[in-house]
Amino acid sequence: MDKINPRVDIAFKKIFGVEENKDLLISLINSIVSPADKVSDVTLLNPYNTKNFRQDKLSILDIKAQGVDGKRFNIEVQITDEADYDKRALYYWGKLYTEQLHAAGDYSQLSKAIGIHILNFVSIPEAPKYHNVFHITEKDSGFLYFTDLELHTIELKKFTCDINEGLTDIVAKVNNSLDVWSAFLTRHDLLKPDNLPEALDNANLKKALSVLEVMNFNSEEREAYEDHLKWMRTEMSAIKKATTDAIEIGEDKATIRIAKNLLKAGASVDMISEVSGLTAEDINKL
């Protein structure tokens, strides 16, 4: 089997959702949340193990963790662009928050719940950043009152979607620790633990790359991984075909149709402009 892709949910959980790699999960969480929400330690509420995987393949692949101060985190990597993903994210957050009440028994004991959604597609085309943070605020003043709700979206296609980018191109995008983890999730194939450029040279990334290199699947895990990987490969093939069609078909309607498909697939405006000949302004109107 080819080198395992950490964006596939089962691989992601085997890296970040096991006790022996808890330090990697802490590093990932701290690269995303605000300084006030950073964690020194976490308890895995649903650690990955083979027995649980056999019993509940559908729900086992998100990661639930609790910090020492009671804050709860739900971390999920999503490879497919499902309809109503925003509603799904809110539903997951709601479960994470309300599950506490059974143990606490009193509303005053409820702790902040933070949903972290790492997406292998563009979900919010209106937002130029690849990492966005959402709260409930007062409409006119922007005042934050409901402080226990926080949702993060990390759209990896906005970090990089060009398979032709080299290591130098990726390193140029690295300005913080989340960029380091995004580089790992998107272009792990370019990274060697014993030969990392200075911007990516840290112990957590080296460990994650090493874990990825030695990761093994049993037959059930391999089947699930291959099914999810197949979808990703189909998506990449569709983008390549659309690119070829855009070059070969010169009619305006066909060009616009293909540009729209590329936008849905998460291609960058620059890439679509280069392929279609449309201006950035025209593409943004689409």
Query: What is the pLDDT confidence band of residue 108, given thresholds at 50, 70 and 90?
Result: confident
Asked if pLDDT for residue 265 goes beyond 60, the answer is: yes
Residue 35 has which token pair? Answer: 């300084």
More confident residue, 261 or 72: 72
* Type and span of the H or E element at 273: helix 269-276
The 3-state DSSP class for residue 148 equals strand
Residue 281 reports pLDDT greater than 90: no
Residue 144: CB atoms within 10 Å = 12
Confidence bin at 169 (pLDDT 50/70/90): very high
What is the SS3 assignment for 132?
A: strand
* DSSP β-ladder status, 63-67 and 72-78: antiparallel
115 vs 110: CA distance, rounded Å = 15
Q: Which residues pair with 154 in a beta bridge?
A: 118, 131
For residue 140, the model assigns a pLDDT of 96
Q: Considering only 59-68, 81-90, 106-115, 224-233, which range has the smallest mean pLDDT?
A: 224-233
Q: Which pTM does this prediction carry?
A: 0.77
pLDDT tens digits along 9-48: 888 999 999 999 999 999 999 999 999 999 999 999 988 8
Are the CB atoms for 66 and 43 separated by under 8 Å?
A: yes
Q: 139 with 175: CB under 8 angstroms?
A: no
Q: Among 3-12, 43-52, 66-75, 247-256, which stretch is predicted with the lowest mean pLDDT?
A: 247-256
Angle 73-74-77 from CA coordinates, rounded to 5°: 135
Position with higher pLDDT, 243 vs 162: 162
